[in-house]
Structure formats: structure tokens, C-alpha cells
Structure 1
Amino acid sequence: MELHESGRIGDLEIPNRGVFRPVRTRFVDDGAPTTELAAHLGARAAGGAGLVAGPAQMLVHPSASGPSYIDAYDEDAIEGLAAVADAVHEAGSAIVGQLTHTGGEEGGDWEMQAQLAPSASPSDAAYEMPKAMDRDEIRAVQDGFAAAARNLEEAGFDGVELNAGAFSVLRQFLSPRYNVRADEYGGDWESRVRFVNEAIARVSDATSGPVGLHLSLAELEYGGYEFEDVPEFLPLLERLDYLSCTVGTRATYDRTHAGLSVQAPDLLEPIRTAADLVDVPVIGRQPRTGAADAASLFDAGADFVSFTRQLLADERTVQKLIDGERHDRCIECNQKCLEGVYGHAHGGHVQCVVDPRTGRETDLPPLDEVEPAALNQRVLVVGGGPAGMRFAAIAARRGHDVTLREADAELGGQLQTAAQGPLNLLERAEEDLVAAVREAGVTVERESRVTADALEPEWDAVVVATGGTRPGLDEYDFDSEVVDAFDVLEGASVGDDVLLFDDNRWVIAFQTGLKLLEDAAELEIVATDHYPGFTTEQPNLPGFVSALQAQGATFTGNHTLEAVGTDGTATLRNTLTGDRTTRTPDTVVVAGRRRAEEGLYLELKERRDSVYRIGDAVSPRKLDRAYYDGERLARRL
């Protein structure tokens, strides 16, 4: 089986075997999908996905609600849903709408009511004790599935999918952890599948298109069902037109959507088992589905392959794979696809580090539709880090004559240091940026340092992308020498007993800690926050914390490193009480904050016109800002 081959689900023809399964987007306004959502899903269809399964977070009953959910049970949502379906159909793809009820995996703050669940068994991801559903409430939720399905059909959707993955009361009814009922809906497997079968039946009777189930093949929680349980209950499920496979619960989102910090569960064998148990098409995925996974998923019995984050990183991935073209790869950082939503950054909607257009589809046209430059210019880019390379490649594609000068022997900038240990997948970003620069025809001059005095006058524009400086350890005014975390990442030696002071508050504290533990026997990480790496993305945080703790690292929160004496004694001050304690480690390491390398820009700005700066040369920030700065300037120059 090949990705380009057409397929069928029931009577629904699918032009190829690539599926886009969206994450939560928060493109919702008062329970209805927005034009931004239609553009976002339509872009993935236009990029080659034969089937779109979504949107995510479409609710069937008001007992599960919130500002990021679409009220699919409400007829007022039909108009917006129709716009979504039209956008996907206009691109030549099919769309099935995914319906859910969150059960006990959400909070009731939005509607100020208790959350309905199979039993009063709380999720580790929510703070509320849910209410066990009575029979009237069971019937009401099932009525909601039917009503929402009818609304989807009226809006033009080709089919309906019921969510029994994360954020799902359906999965909770299956679960021995979440379902401890003593009536006909609890107990043995035949009883626990009853609610799911009844919901599927109600939807099947209410609509004419195919009806599928998106199912977690294991909950990955203590007391939940496991991969080995699937053969016990999967054959009991009825009236499915297809099975879509996933893993985990809301409480295990760090593994369901595994990022840089954890080892992702391998779903190939569980999918193979599931495919052997059903006689309907199977949609397969890995927690990190990339292009290389398609063949192995087909071999495991999947009929279709679903991509999520990879199609956020490059919306045209499916078409590029079919055409044999290079695509930009997901770096699995979870910074914008998940943290952008959960952390409510930039308005709280989905975005992507390596593709600034993701989440901005209504504002930014696809790169292949960007107008050529009205006036072609000779442009010099100073600095071959992410911002400089992103700008150079796009500016050259628009017709500018672009030269990039890099002081080092290799391109990459900070990525050369960052792409190691748990962040090794940042190598993908570096490699894809270099490839884009080469494909665009940019002239690259390595080991070429630029000074204001020696700069040639013939450049029409100069873009300064010189990045940021290393943290200045002298500003701490310690009386004894300490080691910079960046030097540790580059191989600096340390003693057996190390104190790491996290004054950076991001993932570098974890990355440095894991590097230190390769040699150090004892490691204490001190942070002014409650714990180190406080601003690290929530989906990544548990994996980093557990990795350090598993190797014996200790955390001291709510303390600052006040002094390091001439004898190396470290004085810690409690930021809450003011109390002081001391430590006598062999080595003190400081993870500080970088500053903009802005000297060249400021000099050039005084001497000539058309000088710009981007990325960390403006202010050191996360990687997504470097991409965004570079692309934004290149689109308008």
C-alpha cells in the first residue's frame, strides 16, 4: 500500500491515504468555528491530505463545555461548520467530524456545573470530582451525539467520528479506572462497551455517512486498560465503519503527543493487533508520526496514516511525499502546537515553530503564492542562524539577490549548541533551513565576519541576524569562578558534586542538568521558581523532571544563588522567607540569559539606510520568534 493510492471508507472515496488529524486549535468564538479554523483545515487539505478528521473539540452536550470547544449539538454552529466543510471540499479532500464529550477530564468552570462521567473517579489532569451519570443523563448525552451528528451532516460533512481517546467519556466508560459502576454500564467488558455501542448506534441511525471510532489502544495510566486488554473488548464494538488508533488520556498527554522529553510508546504492534480484530479500515498513527512512519504503519495493517504535528510543520507534507519533494520536518518541540493552546500564548491558538503560517492562514498566504518582489535588491544577511537562514531562503525565492555571511565554519547559529541531548531533534531544523537556503540559490560565505567599517557600499539592504551573546557571568559579582551552562553543553568539565543555578527558567536547565549527570555523581538544581525550568512547555515538563529525578538530581525551589565565596561556598537565599543556607559543591554552574548581539546593527543604522535586524539580534527569544522574524521581513521586503 502506498500513500498516493486512493482508498474507501464505506461509500466514501478518499483521494489518498494521508489523513490530517488536528490538535486543539482554539479557533472558536462563542461555541462556533471561526473563519480561521476553516482556513487552517482547508490549508492541510490543499496540501494533499486526502481526509481531514476534525475539527477537534466538538461537543455533543452542554455539560462539557468551555471557550475552546465547538458546540456541535447547537444548530447555531451549523453555519460555521459548513464553512469548514466547504474549505476542505474545495481543496478536493473529504472530511469527517470528530464528536466528543469530555466526561471527567475537563473542568466545569465555563458552565458552572458538575462534569458528567461514568463514575466519581477523578482524572489526574483535572481538579474536579466528576458526577456519576444517572440514566437520564446517559440518555441526554447519547441524544447529544445524535443531534450533533445530524448538524454535521447538514453542514456538509462526509461522515462522523466518535472520540474514545483523550478528553472522552466514551473511553472513560471502557476504563476500569474511570468506570466502577455496578449497573448494566459497568463491570465486565460487555457491560463497559455498552455506552459506546449505544452512542455509535445513535449516530449511525441519525446520519447517512460512515461512522468511525477514534480509540485509545491503552490508557497508559495506573488502573487503566492496557494494550493487552484490546482483544478483550474491541471485538465487542459494533457498527463501526472504520477504526482510528491513538493512545493515552488527557493525564498522559506528554506521551500521547510525545515531545522532546519522553520516549514515545510504539503503536505498531498494538495497531497490528487491532487491525487483525476488525474488518473495517484502520487509521494508524504514532505519537510522533513522520514521513518515515508511513510504510511501517501500512505494514502493521493500517489502511490510512494520520499526521498531526507534521502537517502543522509543513502543510504540504502529503503532496510533497507523493511528489518526492523535500518537506520541512516537525521538531517535536510541542512549543506552539500544544503549549500555544494550553498556555494561551499569542491569543491561545495553534501555531508552529518551523512554519509561521500555521495558525495565521487568514493573514499569510502560502509561500508559493507570495508575490515576487516588486524591486529586486542585492541583500546581505549577516548571520547564519535560524532567523538569517529563514529570511535568506524566502527573500531569494521572491527574486532578491541574497548573500549570507556567517562568521563560523558552519551554518546553524545557536542550533549547533542546542541540538544535543534531549533537544537533538533540533538538528532537523538546522538541516531543513540549510536545505532551503541551498534550494533558493542563496550565496553562502562561511568564516566571513562582517564589520561596519569594511562593509561594501553596494548592498541595497542589510539584514543583521547576529543572534545573542552568551550570558555575562561577571554581572553576578561572585567572588569565585563559576561555569556557564553553555560551556557545559559544549563539553566543559565539572566536578563530582555540582550545583546548577537556573536563572534561565526554560528547558536549558534540564538540558544542562542531564549533560552534567553524564559525569557528576551529585547534582542539585536551584531555582527561584517552585521548580527548575518553570517556563518549559507543560507537555514536555513531566518527561524532563522524571529523567533528572531518575538519575538522582535534587531540586531546590524558591531560592536564589546570592553569593559564591572565594572558597567556592555557595550561599542560597530563600526568596519567600529570606532565610539563608550554604552549600560546598565542587562546581557551581549558572544557566543565565543571553542578550542581543546588537553592536553591528547599531553601527550600521547610524551609517546607512535599509538596515534591519531579526531574531535574537533584536532580543533573545524562543526559536519560533527567529523563524517568524525572518519570514515576516522576507515576505514584505
Structure 2
Amino acid sequence: MTSSDVEILLSPFNLDRVRLRNRVFVPGHTTNFGHDNRPTARHAAYHAERARGGVGLIITEGIRVHPTSAGRHISLGSFDDSSVPAYAAIADAVRLHGTHLFAQLLHTGRQANGDATRTAAWSPGTTPWAAGVHIPHAMGRKDISAVVHAFGAAARRMQQAGYDGVEIHLGHGHLMEQFLSPFTNTRTDAYGGSLEGRLRFTREVLAEVLARAPGLPMGIRISADEFLPGGLTPTDMVEIVGLLRRDFPLLYVHASHAAYHGSYSLGTQMADMSFAHAQFRHHAALFKREFPDLPVLAVCRLDSLPEAAEVLAAGEADLVGLARPHIADPHLVRRAEEGRPHDVRSCVACNQGCVGRLEANLPIACVVNPEVGAEREWARVRAVPHPGDGSDAPATTRRVLVVGGGPAGMEAALAAYRAGYEVTLAEAGRALGGTISVAATVPGRERLGLLVTDLARELADCAVAVRLGDRVTAAELLPGGRLDGFDDVIVATGARRAKRRLPGGPPVFDVLEAVAALGDDGSPLRGTVLVRDEQGTWAAASLAEALARAGARVHILSPTASFASKITTYSKLALTSRLGELGIRPHLMRDVAAARGHTVVLRDTLGGHTEELTGVTGIVDVGLPVADDGLYRALDARDDAPRVHVVGDANAPRTALEAVYEGRLAGTFLTDAVSGAGLLAQLR
């Protein structure tokens, strides 16, 4: 990032009378930190940390304006005046650090409620957002009036709570977009039909907000393209914004994209690492060209400040929004101000801890930032004096050995060092990173390597002794052994890959072997390949896609009724679109019964019926991994061994999300597991 890019990025900007200290904002993103549809102290601490990190503007997650959009109790709403103090607490926490705060107001429409409240969702019509979900209630005239009134009332409450402005959400396939779009609005009354009819609801909402909260700045968030046949296009949205701007004092237009629809469209809304960087920046650029004097906010897969600065330097937007990067590292802007824009924990755009946990109705987390949503608790931990940190804590000579240099081991070593201990990290291989480094070599999964790069950089900046090519045995850690003298051993040795051979059948490759074969044009995996998926994760899906792009004819098999069950729907909808274009054939509720030559017999897991798949040249077995916990077991069985801890896949094979989290906990609470357990109990 050049000095001129930094200057633009960090320069103040006026949104009318709201003067922002820089051009970076945190866009609205759901956290699931709520309780009874109200914000909590967890929200205040979360946003305050990002304000402390230097960002100019924070826009809250969507605040539902009416109970028919309430969703689950962990989402946010403002249905009566008693909610004002809870929202004021967030405004107060953010204001302390010089950041401005806007409230995003919405009604989610047809995708709301369902099983959560046992009440019908509201929509312009009765078409559900996806196959197999609840049918919404087609809103009547009084229903529409009630929601219009609710938007105004919620805006007034945000004004009372001390917010600097509101953002009215017209996009992402929520209720207002459902009225705007000819794809979802098939009404024949005054709220449907022509563009003017479809605009009527939006006009009434904006007018009500201005009337009920006079003087409160108001921006809009839109989807520039619904990516739906017969849906709203960029041309349509330029016309719509032009009409609204003519009649309402819009503070800005926040140009996003996509609709909440069970198709590729939804898969683009929070684009994962399989999409290109800033793939949708042209939407903001379009509105900046059409409305040069209207502030335009750009968003989506602006992965870092240097990359976001490109958009500003090109004149394509006035402000740049980074949501997931601020989840990963809340101090992005502060580091840029200090001349350290690359000294951050990079967002890898995996959608695992943020979007994936939302889908499971859990609070957001982050693969690279274990402290998300627990900012208060971790601040208290760091406030306690540690040995070796220059405080009054008792000095210690406690020595810690971390065995294994994957994400869990690297994070554990860093945490133990920062807790004041003398730390050595031993890795049997020639490089740090473990299997995640292998996964990062698969096309489309390269950003996973950023986690290894960031952790390795942090280790290099610390006094952690890193030993590569050092395979540690239990005997060496016992009295008199080569490694005698360590007080604690953190075992982070990962997991072993499974492979079920099929004698007499095609050659079988485990995951690591299959990745190694991606560059081999003479491999059996260049013909007809069967990928056996026991995990439902990216391991099978990304390999299937990579093999198909390399020219293989790929079949993917799952013993369950759901394909890629552990991949979030947001990513899966884009994934399945790509796999379909590549001609990959799914076989759900199937398992391998037998094999002979190039024929594999598949068995229906429901009824036991069989069918044959012929011409198979190779099989990739993505079976269940097994914890490589031999060192842990051997040390745990000895009374004369150092105290032993086990983290990551060596504890139980899972993902990098759990590995980094357990590494942070183990290293931080090395001598006080009770405190660690207490922290865990607070973070359910």
C-alpha cells in the first residue's frame, strides 16, 4: 500500500454533517449475541473493540423493526421503547473511541421466523425463499401499514439511543427488496405491477422514517444485482436509486448484491475464498459514475486495507467496508495508522466461524481470531499480571514444549509465550503449517495459507525456539531423556488420514495422496474418479472440483442424504453451481459395497439396493481421520512425565476453528485450567 493509498484511506470524510475520521467502515453483519431480541454487553464490547481499532464508522447488524421479523431470540429487534437503553449502551461504548455508529433497520420478510416463533413470515406473496421451507403470508394493506409504522418507530428509538444515523436495508432479498423485485412481487394491487407500484412500500417506509426521526441522517443499502432470472439488475437499481434520491435526502447508497434465495445468488452474498478478491466492486463503481455527488459505500470480499484502498484510489467508492476482516482483526485501521498494514491476522474468507455458526444459530466465531465475542473476558485475562511480562507477577522458569507445528501448535506456542513462559515448538516436518498447508495447495483454497503465514510471522517476532525436523518421542521427555526438563508438554500432533483399500478394485488415494496427485497428468485420478465423502467438509468438495477442473470425470458419493453437510449453505449454493457446471455427478445415500477391476458396486444405504459404476480409474477416500495422539497417551500414562495437554486434531479431529481456539486456551491457561474452563463456560 503506497503512502498516497494510506492518505486516501485514512483521510476524513463527511457524510453530510457526520464527519468520519477515515474512509473505512464495518458493515452490518449478524453476530447472534442477542438475548430476547435485544443487544447485550457482548455487543457493546465487540463493537467497542473495533472502534478502539480505529475504524471510522460502524453499521450495526440488521435490527428487525417488527415481531413478524423477530427470528430467534439471539437476533436483534426494536419492537418497543424499552429496548432503547440496550441500544444506547452500544452507542456509548463506540463513541468513547471516536467512531460513529449507524443502525441498520430491516424486516427480513419471507425468510423470517418459521420454526423459531411458530408464526408465519410476511412477504408480498406466498412463494417461499427456497424449496422445502415455510410458505409465507401474503401481506394485506394493514400489515403493510403496520410495518411502515414500525420502521419509523424503530428509527425514532435509534435517535433516542444516540445513534448518528440509520441505514434502511433495501437489499439482500429482505422484505423491502421482495416488494421492489418483479421476481418476488407478483401483486396486482397498488403495491405491485409497475415499478411505481413496487416502489410504493419503500417510499412509505422512507417517508415514515424521516417523519418520525426528523434530522436523523438516513442511508440505504441495496442489492445492485439479484443474480436471478427476472430479478432486479444493475440498470433497474440505478433507476430505483435515482427515483428515491429525487424524493428523499439520501445520505449514501451502500452497494451490495444478491437476494436471499436458495440458489447461486445467496452464495454470492458473503462470497467465500472461491470467489476472486473484490469480485463485485464494479457495482459500487457503477453507482459512483451515475451519481458522482452521492456518497457510495463499497463492500464484499475487500479482504484487506491495501486491497480496499485500490477501490478508493480508482474513484469507485467513497467508503470501503470490511466486515469479515474486522472480525478477524479488529485493529486493521490502527495498524495502518502505525505503518503496519500487513501486520494483521488475515481473514481467509472461509465462512466457517462467522457464517457457518450463524446457520447453526450460534454466536459468531472466527478461525483466525479465537477472541471474537469474548472481548470482555479476554481483556480481563490480559489484565492479570503474568510472569515474564515486566509486571509484579512472580518470576518463573517454567518451560513449555509444544509438539506439532500446525495451527493448534503454533497458536498454543504463541499463547504460552505471551503468558510469560519459555517456549519451544518442535515440528517433525520440514515446515510449519500441518495439513492446512496442504489444503492451501488445492485450487480455490489458497487463502487458507494466510493463516500459516500470519502465525509463522508472529512466531518469528517472538522468542519461541522453533525446531523443524524434530520428531519427539515420549521416552525423550522422561527423566534423563534428550528433552528432560520441560514442565509442560502441549501435544498438537494432528490426525492421521484414513484410507479403506478395495482389493481387486481401482487404486485408492487418501486425501494427502490425492492432493499430491493433482499435478500429475499420468495419475489414475485423471480418468473417472469416485470421491468417497465421509466428512461432508471442504476436503471432498474441493478435491472433487479440482480434479474435475484438471479433466477428470468425477463422481462424489455420500452415505448421508445431504451433500457437503458441514459446509454453510451460503458457500454450498455457489459450490454446487460450480460442480454442476463441471458435470460432477452426486450419489447420495450410497456407500461402496465392493469393487472389481474398474467397476465399483454402490449400495443404497436406505434399502440396500445395489448399482454399478463402471470405468472407475481411481478412488479418493475422504474417510474419517483418526487422532494422532500416541504421544499424549504415552505421557498421560506416566507419573514421572511432564504435565501434558492435548489440542487440535490430536484431541479430536475437527477443523482449524477448533484447533486455533484450543491452542489459544491451552497456552494461556497452562497453569490454571480452572480459569480456562470458567472462560469457556461464559462463551457458549
Tell me which interval the TM-score lies in, with the shorter structure as reference length.
over 0.9
1:402 aligns with 2:423: yes
Equivalent position SS for 1:499: strand
Higher deviation after alignment, 621-630 or 101-110: 101-110
Correspondent of 1:571 among 590, 601, 610? 601
- Tell me, yes or no, if the aligned pair for 2:399 and 2:488 is still in contact at 8 Å: yes
- Tell me, yes or no, if the aligned pair for 2:182 and 2:230 is still in contact at 8 Å: yes
Correspondent of 1:365 among 379, 387, 402? 379
Counterparts in 2 of 1:267 and 1:545: CA distance versus 1, 3 Å? closer
Aligned-partner Cα distance in 2 for 1:12–1:520: 55
Equivalent position SS for 1:402: strand
AA aligned to 1:245 is: A
- Tell me, yes or no, if the aligned pair for 1:255 and 1:287 is still in contact at 8 Å: no
Aligned-partner Cα distance in 2 for 1:179–1:264: 33
Counterparts in 2 of 1:435 and 1:182: CA distance versus 1, 3 Å? same
Aligned-partner Cα distance in 2 for 1:77–1:125: 35
Aligned-partner Cα distance in 2 for 1:468–1:558: 26
Flag structure 1 segments of 5+ consecutive residues without an equivalent. none
- Tell me, yes or no, if the aligned pair for 2:65 and 2:105 is still in contact at 8 Å: yes
Look up the match of 1:158: 164
Look up the match of 1:124: 130
Aligned-partner Cα distance in 2 for 1:456–1:122: 63
Counterparts in 2 of 1:116 and 1:264: CA distance versus 1, 3 Å? farther
Look up the match of 1:466: 493
Residues 10-40 of structure 1, C-alpha deviation per residue, up to 9 Å, x if partnerless? 2222222221124211222122112212222
Which aligned pairs between 1:162-201 and structure 2 lie closer than 5 A? 162-201=168-207
Equivalent position SS for 1:315: coil
Instruction: Name the one with the larger helix percent.
Output: 2
Look up the match of 2:328: 313
- Tell me, yes or no, if the aligned pair for 1:200 and 1:240 is still in contact at 8 Å: no
Higher deviation after alignment, 600-609 or 218-227: 600-609
Which aligned pairs between 1:35-46 and structure 2 lie closer than 5 A? 35-46=41-52
CA drift of 1:262 comes to 4.3
- CA-based RMSD of the aligned residues comes to 2.4
Aligned-partner Cα distance in 1 for 2:556–2:439: 20
1:250 aligns with 2:256: no
Equivalent position SS for 1:421: coil
- Tell me, yes or no, if the aligned pair for 2:304 and 2:325 is still in contact at 8 Å: yes
Counterparts in 2 of 1:194 and 1:479: CA distance versus 1, 3 Å? closer
Higher deviation after alignment, 231-240 or 367-376: 367-376
- Tell me, yes or no, if the aligned pair for 1:101 and 1:167 is still in contact at 8 Å: no
AA aligned to 2:65 is: V
Residues 443-468 of structure 1, C-alpha deviation per residue, up to 9 Å, x if partnerless? 21211222223332122322221111
AA aligned to 2:137 is: K
1:302 aligns with 2:317: yes
Look up the match of 2:681: none
Residues 574-614 of structure 1, C-alpha deviation per residue, up to 9 Å, x if partnerless? 11001123334222321112111111222233241322221
Look up the match of 1:335: 352
CA drift of 1:257 comes to 0.4
Correspondent of 2:38 among 14, 27, 32? 32
Residues 525-576 of structure 1, C-alpha deviation per residue, up to 9 Å, x if partnerless? 22101244222222221222222222222111111112334x4542322110
TM-score normalized by the length of structure 2: 0.87
Look up the match of 2:469: 447
- Tell me, yes or no, if the aligned pair for 2:297 and 2:321 is still in contact at 8 Å: yes
- Tell me, yes or no, if the aligned pair for 2:303 and 2:347 is still in contact at 8 Å: no
CA drift of 1:156 comes to 1.7
Residue-pair matches, total:
631
AA aligned to 1:143 is: H
1:217 aligns with 2:224: yes
Which aligned pairs between 1:9-24 and structure 2 lie closer than 5 A? 9-24=15-30
Identical amino acids, percent of aligned pairs? 31
AA aligned to 1:5 is: S
Residues 471-511 of structure 1, C-alpha deviation per residue, up to 9 Å, x if partnerless? 1436x888775222320111272152222221222211112
Counterparts in 2 of 1:125 and 1:561: CA distance versus 1, 3 Å? closer
- Tell me, yes or no, if the aligned pair for 2:561 and 2:589 is still in contact at 8 Å: yes
Which aligned pairs between 1:69-88 and structure 2 lie closer than 5 A? 69-88=75-94
Higher deviation after alignment, 154-163 or 68-77: 68-77
Which aligned pairs between 1:89-104 and structure 2 lie closer than 5 A? 89-104=95-110
- Tell me, yes or no, if the aligned pair for 1:485 and 1:591 is still in contact at 8 Å: yes
- Tell me, yes or no, if the aligned pair for 2:506 and 2:618 is still in contact at 8 Å: no
Higher deviation after alignment, 402-411 or 279-288: 279-288
Look up the match of 2:445: 423
Flag structure 2 segments of 5+ consecutive residues without an equivalent. 1-6, 388-392, 477-481, 671-684
Look up the match of 1:598: 629
1:487 aligns with 2:496: no
CA drift of 1:364 comes to 2.1
- Tell me, yes or no, if the aligned pair for 1:286 and 1:293 is still in contact at 8 Å: no
Aligned-partner Cα distance in 1 for 2:224–2:576: 26
Aligned-partner Cα distance in 2 for 1:283–1:520: 41
Which aligned pairs between 1:617-628 and structure 2 lie closer than 5 A? 617-628=650-661
CA drift of 1:624 comes to 0.6
AA aligned to 1:270 is: H
Aligned-partner Cα distance in 2 for 1:597–1:112: 46
Equivalent position SS for 1:380: strand
AA aligned to 1:95 is: L
Look up the match of 1:59: 64
1:231 aligns with 2:232: no
- Tell me, yes or no, if the aligned pair for 1:384 and 1:465 is still in contact at 8 Å: yes
Counterparts in 2 of 1:322 and 1:165: CA distance versus 1, 3 Å? farther
Aligned-partner Cα distance in 1 for 2:103–2:23: 17
Look up the match of 1:543: 574
- Tell me, yes or no, if the aligned pair for 2:357 and 2:363 is still in contact at 8 Å: yes
- Tell me, yes or no, if the aligned pair for 1:488 and 1:515 is still in contact at 8 Å: no
Residues 228-282 of structure 1, C-alpha deviation per residue, up to 9 Å, x if partnerless? 2233221111221122221111223310101134457733332122123343322
AA aligned to 1:387 is: A
CA drift of 1:130 comes to 3.1
Counterparts in 2 of 1:48 and 1:632: CA distance versus 1, 3 Å? same
- Tell me, yes or no, if the aligned pair for 2:592 and 2:603 is still in contact at 8 Å: yes
Aligned-partner Cα distance in 2 for 1:292–1:105: 36
Aligned-partner Cα distance in 1 for 2:294–2:591: 59
- Tell me, yes or no, if the aligned pair for 1:106 and 1:126 is still in contact at 8 Å: no
CA drift of 1:523 comes to 2.1
- Tell me, yes or no, if the aligned pair for 1:125 and 1:250 is still in contact at 8 Å: no
- Tell me, yes or no, if the aligned pair for 1:18 and 1:305 is still in contact at 8 Å: yes
Look up the match of 1:612: 645
AA aligned to 1:240 is: L
Correspondent of 1:412 among 429, 433, 439? 433
Aligned-partner Cα distance in 2 for 1:611–1:98: 48
Aligned-partner Cα distance in 1 for 2:305–2:564: 31
AA aligned to 2:211 is: D
- Tell me, yes or no, if the aligned pair for 1:230 and 1:274 is still in contact at 8 Å: no
Look up the match of 1:148: 154
- Tell me, yes or no, if the aligned pair for 1:464 and 1:612 is still in contact at 8 Å: yes
Look up the match of 1:284: 298
Look up the match of 1:435: 457
Aligned-partner Cα distance in 1 for 2:110–2:184: 9
Counterparts in 2 of 1:534 and 1:553: CA distance versus 1, 3 Å? same
AA aligned to 1:364 is: W
Aligned-partner Cα distance in 2 for 1:390–1:53: 31
Counterparts in 2 of 1:415 and 1:109: CA distance versus 1, 3 Å? closer
Aligned-partner Cα distance in 2 for 1:472–1:116: 50
Equivalent position SS for 2:603: strand
